[in-house]
């Protein structure tokens, strides 16, 4: 009995020892997980990055566009194969895009420190408006054209904004201080409403904004002019094409554009005055006089030769532009309705009038004719910042700055919570001075053109646009849109001439005539 009791007590002690050892081996209780916390300082959608005092918001949209009788994002049929109406043109073009935005903000003793970036993942109809082999990868002149990066399974990423804001300063790729809040979109979805400035996809800049109170602010900035603030400079010793096309002879960028605005932004609306100073410079007097044909290898038109540096160059000139913009809110037609408009003038900075979301267009459009003996009609307009003709070629060797002015605007109306419409329009004009006209016309009016008796040469032109947009939002953040736009080119040549336009157009007699085109753009967009 005594032995049995000793065995039982010994076993119990052993079990307790084992149990204690196992308890000692248990891990220490983990620290509570830090769940995502909502950040209400900067509006809906922000949350704290775990372990930091920085708030972040992820957003963007998914958008699908299709344009009939136009290019992607509502480009009118104003140039290329689609404007010729030939067999290479696409009757429609589409783009699918997902935009992703990242917005971070941190409070500091200097105010909010903000970073913002937007990347667009997109896939488009290859070539946008054409299947002409000269525009595709078989041609060395095609280069790295992004419209060609749309083979099956391809697409590309475009960067719109990427900037830092700190103590009133903005550094990076953002909308110019010259631009209005709506840029080139007073009421349209087309990315090609002319008549004023548009930097909606961002330009590299540095800018500073001062707030004066009561909604009054002022901003000054320095913009990189290379992409957003330039069109072309023509050296008129190089032959112009049948549709007044020339080779770009701009020199390198030597100075940034100086831009700024004064803005009043209050409950009634917005008023803004903007100004910009822009350097215009030509490269050299002697340049390669003819571009190589499509598919060939060789120097492009206006590329340098061994004589370029010896030939000299025109003196640099400064041009610029001004813009006045107005938005009127709370108009009596309905809640949320408004009117937006801006008016612009430029000299040597035509991009601030003939502006799109990409490069500024020149125009070359073909149509029907009733003129006896003529094959078709043609209208064209060259978009330049300046032209020059070297002294050795009979000119004065000076840059002649191009003038341009424009007006555009929209009336935006909400029918109810689900339906809205916008009626918009624009008018733009491009003007060359008397000397520039004489040089251009002497270059263009050659014996080989066999001009008619009633022929006259004038490179000035006007363009007009009128559009109607209707939106349906069946559920929050999902919108279906349809937009119809008419585009009119008012060119100033008269009569007819024997011309050799780009293939497949034949060398034939063409009547100079104003041109028109209409396109339809439809869109489905989901914001998130």
298 pLDDT above the threshold of 90: no
516 pLDDT above the threshold of 70: yes
For 310, list phi and psi in degrees, rounded to 5. -75, -20
In a domain? residue 32: no
Q: Which of 307, 311, 308, 289 is nearest to 298 (CA)?
A: 289
In a domain? residue 116: no
Q: Which of 152, 131, 157, 153 is nearest to 142 (CA)?
A: 131
Side-by-side strand order, sheet with 233-235: 233-235, 386-388, 400-401
The CA distances from residue 321 to 140, 186, 234, 353, in Å, are 37, 20, 20, 9
13 pLDDT above the threshold of 90: no
Q: Which of 242, 444, 455 is nearest to 362 (CA)?
A: 242
Question: Cis omega before residue 100 (within 30°)?
Answer: no
pLDDT at residue 153 in the model: 83
Range of the domain at 286: 190-200+215-290+314-528
450 pLDDT above the threshold of 90: yes
pLDDT at residue 309 in the model: 97
Residues 497, 453 contacting (CB under 8 angstroms): no
Give the span between the Cα atoms of 383 and 476, in whole angstroms. 42
Q: Kindly report the average pLDDT of the chain as a whole number.
A: 91
Give the span between the Cα atoms of 128 and 119, in whole angstroms. 20
- % of the chain surpassing 90 pLDDT: 83
In a domain? residue 41: no
Average pLDDT score over residue span 81-110:
96
Task: Quote the Cα angle for 10-13-16, to 5°.
Answer: 150
Q: Which of 456, 399, 376, 101 is nearest to 235 (CA)?
A: 399
**Confidence bin at 324 (pLDDT 50/70/90):** very high
Residues 249, 405 contacting (CB under 8 angstroms): no
Three-state SS at 347: strand
DSSP state of 61: E
In a domain? residue 45: no
Q: Which of 168, 172, 128 is nearest to 146 (CA)?
A: 128
In a domain? residue 391: yes
Mean pLDDT is highest, among 134-138, 355-359, 484-488, for 484-488
The CA distances from residue 205 to 169, 199, 212, 344, 481, in Å, are 10, 11, 22, 21, 33
Phi-psi region of 153 (alpha: psi -120 to 50; beta: other; left: phi over 0): left
DSSP lists the bridge partners of residue 338 as: 329, 412
Q: Which two tokens stand for residue 235?
A: 């050296």
pLDDT at residue 29 in the model: 56
The CA distances from residue 336 to 6, 151, 270, in Å, are 92, 43, 14
Give the model confidence (pLDDT) of 155-187 as tens digits.
889 999 999 999 999 999 999 999 999 999 999
Per the confidence metrics, is the pTM higher than 0.85?
yes
Average pLDDT score over residue span 248-277:
97
Residues 6+ apart with CB under 8 A from 464: 425, 426, 427, 428, 487, 488, 490
1 pLDDT above the threshold of 50: no
Of 142-151, 179-188, 330-339, 376-385, which range is least confident?
Answer: 142-151
- Report the Cα–Cα distance between both ends of the chain, in Å, rounded: 81
Three-state SS at 10: helix
Average pLDDT score over residue span 379-384:
98
Comparison of pLDDT for 133 and 74, the residue scoring more: 74
Three-state SS at 225: helix
Q: Which two tokens stand for residue 111?
A: 């105010």
In this structure, are strands 317-329 and 169-174 parallel, antiparallel, or unpaired?
unpaired
Count the Cβ atoms, other than its own, within 10 Å of residue 41: 12
pLDDT at residue 240 in the model: 96
Give the span between the Cα atoms of 497 and 375, in whole angstroms. 11
Of 6-10, 87-91, 129-133, 365-369, which range is least confident?
Answer: 6-10
In a domain? residue 434: yes
**Confidence bin at 4 (pLDDT 50/70/90):** very low
Count the Cβ atoms, other than its own, within 10 Å of residue 310: 10
86 pLDDT above the threshold of 80: yes
Q: What is the 3-state secondary structure (H, E, C) of 66-117?
A: EEECEECCCEECCCHHHHHCCCCECCEEEEEEEEEEEEEEEEECCEEEEEEE
pLDDT at residue 5 in the model: 44
In a domain? residue 484: yes
33 pLDDT above the threshold of 90: no
pLDDT at residue 36 in the model: 82
- % of the chain surpassing 70 pLDDT: 90
E strands, 125-175, are 156-166, 169-174
**Confidence bin at 132 (pLDDT 50/70/90):** confident
Average pLDDT score over residue span 275-298:
84
pLDDT at residue 469 in the model: 98
pLDDT at residue 126 in the model: 85
Give the span between the Cα atoms of 206 and 381, in whole angstroms. 34
In a domain? residue 8: no
Comparison of pLDDT for 67 and 20, the residue scoring more: 67
pLDDT at residue 301 in the model: 84
Give the span between the Cα atoms of 444 and 462, in whole angstroms. 20
pLDDT at residue 16 in the model: 38
Give the span between the Cα atoms of 243 and 231, in whole angstroms. 17
Q: How many domains does the chain have?
A: 1
């Amino acid at each position: 009995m005594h032995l049995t009791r000793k065995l039982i007590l010994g076993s119990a002690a052993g079990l307790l020892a084992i149990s204690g050892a196992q308890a000692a081996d248990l891990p220490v209780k983990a620290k509570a997980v830090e769940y995502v916390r909502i950040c209400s300082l900067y509006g809906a959608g922000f949350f704290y990055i775990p372990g930091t005092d920085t708030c972040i918001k992820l957003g963007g949209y998914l958008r699908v566009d299709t344009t009939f009788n136009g290019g992607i994002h509502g480009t009118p049929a104003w140039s290329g194969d689609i404007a010729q109406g030939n067999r290479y043109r696409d009757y429609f073009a589409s783009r699918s895009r997902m935009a992703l935005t990242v917005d971070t903000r941190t409070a500091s003793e200097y105010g909010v420190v903000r970073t913002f970036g937007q990347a667009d993942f997109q896939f488009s109809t290859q070539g946008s408006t054409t299947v002409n082999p000269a525009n595709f990868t078989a041609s060395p002149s095609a280069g790295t054209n992004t419209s060609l990066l749309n083979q099956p399974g391809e697409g590309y990423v475009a960067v719109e904004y990427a900037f830092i804001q700190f103590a009133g300063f903005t550094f990076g790729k953002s909308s110019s201080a010259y631009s209005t809040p709506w840029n080139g979109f007073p009421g349209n979805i087309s990315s090609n409403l002319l008549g004023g400035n548009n930097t909606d996809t961002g330009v590299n800049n540095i800018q500073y904004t001062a707030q004066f109170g009561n909604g009054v602010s002022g901003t000054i900035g320095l913009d990189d002019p290379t992409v957003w603030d330039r069109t072309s400079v023509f050296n008129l010793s190089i032959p112009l094409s049948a549709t007044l096309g020339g080779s770009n002879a701009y020199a390198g960028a030597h100075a940034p554009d100086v831009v700024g605005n004064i803005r009043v932004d209050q409950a009634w609306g917005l008023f803004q005055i903007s100004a910009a100073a822009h350097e215009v410079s030509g490269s050299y007097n002697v340049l390669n006089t003819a571009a190589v044909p499509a598919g060939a290898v060789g120097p492009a038109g206006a590329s340098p030769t061994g004589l370029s540096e010896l030939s000299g160059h025109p003196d640099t000139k400064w041009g610029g532009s001004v813009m006045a913009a107005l938005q009127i809110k709370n108009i009596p037609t309905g809640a949320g309705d408004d009117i937006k408009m801006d008016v612009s003038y430029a000299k040597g900075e035509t991009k601030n009038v003939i502006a799109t979301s990409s490069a500024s267009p020149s125009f070359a459009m073909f149509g029907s004719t009733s003129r006896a003996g003529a094959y078709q009609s043609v209208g064209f307009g060259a978009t330049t910042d300046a032209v020059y003709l070297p002294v050795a070629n009979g000119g004065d060797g000076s840059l002649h700055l191009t003038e341009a002015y424009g007006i555009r605007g929209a009336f935006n109306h909400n029918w109810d919570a689900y339906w809205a419409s916008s009626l918009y329009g624009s008018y733009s004009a491009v003007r060359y001075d008397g000397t520039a006209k004489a040089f251009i016309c002497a270059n263009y009016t050659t014996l080989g053109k066999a001009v008619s008796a009633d022929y006259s040469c004038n490179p000035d032109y006007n363009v007009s646009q009128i559009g109607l947009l209707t939106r349906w939002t069946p559920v929050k953040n999902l919108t279906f849109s349809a937009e119809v736009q008419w585009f009119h080119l008012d060119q100033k040549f008269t009569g007819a001439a024997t011309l050799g336009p780009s293939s497949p157009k034949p060398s034939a007699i063409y009547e100079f005539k104003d041109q028109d085109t209409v396109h339809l753009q439809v869109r489905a967009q989901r914001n998130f």
